[in-house]
């Protein structure tokens, strides 16, 4: 599904990402962990063609991401609140994304009903602009918007940050349900090892831009990662 080929990103001569080879099969739930500055957001930004690689490239469904827009119809993401449109209400934003995905308002409304628990009565019909929502509620909107239209690839950067414990629990349920679909590939990055392990069947750890761990999730994964990062 996603393949990395001799990928490098450098700023002012300093290499911040250096991945010779990495393959993420279709249907995998992929967790990316690492400290600040490890290269997680850089990698996701390259996956979304938000920045250009210094060398190498990434393909998604055999489409070279930095040379074609053919990957966009089946890919969705939420990295941070800059993905939102602050002067829209949540409903207006959901309809906007739905329109991009070929859905009408009725389709979007039907889709949103399954996330009423996740929204917890704080998002819809509040007549608030996105810019006026809390960070946590902005994140709720961005994450659910990224699921509209049944994308095959879903990329979420730090989805658990700024969410209260109840919403984190509900988000994990949403992600686990998505992971049951063999047609959906989910990529999640987080500082929170436990949350990431719980929703991923594979964990890759980055350190100083390089892959230092690539493991299938098991009962020992959390202990192994805690020992690595504590060393």
Instruction: Quick: pLDDT tens for 173-215.
Output: 999 999 999 999 999 998 889 999 999 999 999 999 999 999 9
Backbone torsions φ then ψ of 111, nearest 5 degrees: -60, -40
Distance, first Cα to last Cα, the chain: 34
- Among 190, 160, 151, which residue's Cα sits nearest to residue 38? 190
pLDDT of residue 52: 96
Alpha-carbon gap, residue 192 to 33, rounded angstroms: 8
Which pLDDT score is estimated for 191? Answer: 86
Tell me the chain's radius of gyration from C-alpha atoms: 18
Percent of all residues in the chain with a pLDDT value above 70, rounded to a whole number: 100
pLDDT score of 231: 76
Return the residue matching tokens 């309809």: 95
What percentage of the chain exceeds 90 in pLDDT? Answer: 91
Whether the CB-CB separation of 6 and 55 falls below 8 Å is answered with yes
Distance CA 51, CA 9 (A): 9
Contact 199, 176 (CB under 8 A): yes
Residue 3 has what DSSP assignment?
E
74 DSSP assignment? G
What is the enclosing helix (H) or strand (E) of 106? Answer: helix 105-112
Residue 129 has a pLDDT of 96
Regions in the chain scoring below 50 on pLDDT: none
Walk me through the domains of the chain, giving residue ranges and CATH numbers.
2-230 (3.40.50.300)
Distances (CA, A) of 37 to 25, 171, 200: 26, 25, 22
């Amino acid at each position: 599904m996603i393949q990395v080929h001799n990928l490098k990103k450098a700023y002012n001569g300093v290499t911040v990402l250096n991945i010779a080879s990495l393959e993420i099969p279709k249907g995998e739930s992929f967790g990316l962990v690492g400290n600040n500055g490890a290269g997680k957001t850089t990698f996701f930004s390259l996956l979304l063609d938000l920045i250009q690689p210094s060398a190498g490239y990434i393909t998604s469904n055999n489409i070279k991401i930095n040379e074609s827009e053919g990957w966009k119809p089946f890919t969705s993401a939420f990295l941070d609140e800059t993905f939102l449109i602050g002067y829209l209400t949540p409903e207006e934003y959901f309809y906007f994304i739905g329109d991009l995905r070929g859905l009408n308002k009725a389709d979007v409304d039907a889709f949103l009903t399954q996330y009423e628990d996740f929204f917890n009565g704080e998002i819809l019909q509040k007549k608030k602009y996105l810019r006026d929502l809390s960070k946590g509620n902005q994140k709720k909107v961005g994450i659910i918007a990224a699921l509209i239209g049944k994308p095959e690839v879903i990329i979420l950067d730090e989805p658990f940050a700024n969410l209260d414990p109840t919403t984190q629990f509900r988000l994990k349920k949403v992600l686990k349900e998505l992971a049951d679909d063999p047609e959906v590939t989910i990529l999640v990055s987080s500082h929170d090892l436990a949350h990431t392990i719980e929703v991923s069947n594979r964990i890759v750890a980055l350190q100083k831009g390089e892959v230092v761990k690539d493991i299938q999730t098991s009962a020992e994964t959390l202990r192994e990662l805690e020992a690595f990062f504590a060393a």
